[in-house]
Amino acid sequence: MTVHPIGVEVTCDGPGEQRDCPDSAAIRAGFGSITARQVRADGRSDGWTVRRAPGRLLDVCPNCRTHPTP
């Protein structure tokens, strides 16, 4: 049986706590990026940011980052 690593999908958590990302954006993982840490590293080069929240991390796409919650 062949195992195909599907990796992880890191999606945008939106501009705010109660708001969804209007684009439903997800980081395009680079070749060989399997873990969330690796995919986030790919995202950073595309302008994604990671915000710390209690107990978890919020991934924010470049679009949401530039249009924060008022």
What are the residues binding Zn ion (CB under 5 A)? Answer: 12, 21, 25, 61, 64
Torsion of CA 69, 59, 22, 25, to 10 degrees: 160
Which is nearer to Zn ion, 33 or 60 (by Cβ)? 60
d(CA 19, CA 3): 36
Which is nearer to Zn ion, 2 or 18 (by Cβ)? 18
d(CA 63, CA 42): 16
Which is nearer to Zn ion, 14 or 33 (by Cβ)? 14
**Shortest distance, position 63 Cβ to Zn ion, whole Å:** 5
